[in-house]
Structure 1
Amino acid sequence: MLINVKSARDNKHVLITDEINDLIHREINFPEHTRFAYSVINKRHLDQPVIYSNYPTEWINTYINMTLYQHDPVIIIALQRIMPFTWNDKTLSSDDTRHEDIFKVAGKYNISNGHTFPLHDHENNLATLSLYTEGDTDCFQDYVVKNKKNLQQLLLSIHERYIIERRYDRKLFREKLEKELTSREIETLRWASLGKTYNEIAIIMGITESTVKFHIGNLIVKLGVVNAKHAIRKASDLHLLQIYE
């Protein structure tokens, strides 16, 4: 049976989001108006984060499409903290106009204050669990204070599952790429990772510069990246540059 990969991922995303939502509302007994966002971002590159959330869909799409995560003051603080913290559009204001822009957009969805629990893992990721309410703010504050330990434990549990599933997904993806990538494509990328220009790679490998570009173009498509630099980084993370050595 053929499976639509995008649909499968979307279904998985919905299932995990629903599970987190259920844990927050039923296990920890938070008010129904509570909104949450569990996100994971690489601390070194600040690439697009993985987000499971019941925040307004329009806000999540805007946050991703406008790459607001690269300047999000909540993320910037979380990168420097290990303890949970509260935030609002006033305490996080700064001279950086990009911060103001973020809160202007977020304000349209009534996202102006909340709480964030940070977690730094062994794979150089920052995981956060952020919450805000569309209901009674004082009641919400009390719930967070009373349930800090439960929320921190929830973040640990969610993230452990994410790490295990990501490791499994990466293994499958690597195995797939090992079958698809040719030895010449890997060799081309390996030389590029060492800082060689396309012209230098062509001379070293005894091929034309247009062939080098052809190999790099194939790698970009197969790895699902946007450019050669991104291809090198992803191949390195997946330990693909050691193939055929």
Structure 2
Amino acid sequence: MDSRLKYSGFIPADESNSNVCLNLELEKLLGDLQGASYAYFAAPRNREVAPLIISNYPSRWLKAYKNANYHLIDPIIHHGLKSCAPFSWSDALQAASCDKSRELFRRSSQYRICSGATFTLHDACGMFSSLSLCNSGPQADFERRMADQQGQLQMALIRFHSRLLSLRAMDELFPEPQTGPLSARELGVLKWVMMGKAYREIALICAISERTVKFHMSNISGKLQVCNAKQAVYEAQRQGIL
């Protein structure tokens, strides 16, 4: 695999094109397996948030999967959370103890998503990610290809995951649930702004990048319908948020 991949424009400013760009970059990393059906899954292990899914599975299935939070009963995800080594989907299905998990597999079979292999990654930030490849041909041929290319595929997962996190902060990928107009993180950033802290100082205090602080302030200004940080503080105080 060519490790000198070019990532310019990896994540465009236009969010509507973002997933298309992510799919293309992941497909580059898959090398000889371009054209295969795949799914990249990522989520923090210690937070209940919507996962990030990059996939070329049928759009109807992806929509149903996300809307119903099927990741909570997906035997592939459950098995992956307990596994460090690549595994076949048949292994995950055998280990499934929940009838709902087996029923999910039957539903996915309607979209020809019923046989495959999954590679996993547990990173230092507490994130779990996986790369699943769906088999659409003879099982023996698929197993042979997975065995021959397992090192390449594991590295593809590591590189894609690492690059994604270098370009998007955790708060951007997995926003915290909101109990009001501002998330807990946004409220925390705005409080430090109110206290006169510079973006650089807030970044150090919150252990995030200065770019992420600016990202939060941009969101805050948009939600409060103001133009700058000073106006955001005033409007938040007027609304009783601060």
TM band (smaller chain): 0.5 to 0.7
Q: 1:7 to 1:103 in 2, by over 3 A?
A: farther
Q: Count residues in correspondence.
A: 182
Partner secondary structure for residue 139 of structure 1:
helix
Closer/same/farther in 2, CA of residues 181 and 117 from structure 1, 3 Å limit: farther
Work out the CA distance in 2 between the residues paired with 1:163 and 1:7: 16
Q: 1:21 matched to which residue of 2?
A: 27
The aligned runs of 1:190-205 (5 Å cut-off) are none
Identity of aligned residues (%): 25
Distance 1:181 1:138, change over 3 A: farther
Q: Which residue matches 1:205?
A: none
TM-score by structure 1 length? 0.65
Match of 2:127 among 125, 128, 133: 125
Output the amino acid matched with 1:49: P
Deviations 1:181-218 (A, max 9, x none): 537958xxxxxxxxxxxxxxxxxxxxxxxx9xx656xx
**153, 164, 167: which one pairs with 1:165?**
167
Mapped to 2, the partners of 1:38 and 1:44 lie a distance apart of 19
Runs of 4+ residues deviating >3 angstroms = 89-95, 180-186
1:82 and 1:119 in contact (8 A); partners too: yes
Amino acid at match of 1:74: I
- Look up the equivalent residue of 1:134 and give its one-letter code: S
AA of the residue aligned to 1:21: E
Structure 2 vs 1, CA of residues 215 and 137 (structure 1 numbering), >3 Å: closer, same or farther? farther
Given that 1:31 and 1:140 are in contact with CA atoms closer than 8 Å, whether structure 2 keeps it comes out as: no
- 1:30 maps to a residue whose letter is L
Match of 1:38 in 2: 40
Structure 2-normalised TM-score? 0.66
Counterpart AA for 1:116: T
Equivalent positions of 1:48-197 (< 5 A) are 48-88=50-90, 91-92=93-94, 94-167=96-169, 170=172, 171=212, 172-176=214-218, 177=220, 179=229, 181-182=232-233, 185=236
Q: In structure 2, what is the Cα distance between the partners aligned to 1:125 and 1:138?
A: 32
Closer/same/farther in 2, CA of residues 94 and 81 from structure 1, 3 Å limit: closer
SS in structure 1 of the partner of residue 133 of structure 2: strand
TM-fit CA distance, 1:31: 6.9
1:37, 1:51 within 8 Å by CA — same for their partners in 2? yes
Deviation of 1:125 after TM superposition, in Å, equals: 1.1
In the TM superposition, residue 86 of structure 1 has moved relative to its aligned partner by 0.9
Q: Distance in 2 between matches of 1:7 and 1:164?
A: 16
- CA RMSD in angstroms comes to 2.9
Do the aligned partners of 1:89 and 1:113 also contact (CA within 8 Å) in 2?
A: no
Structure 2 portions without partners, runs of 5+: 1-11, 173-211, 222-228
> What one-letter code is carried by the residue in structure 2 that aligns with 1:18?
L
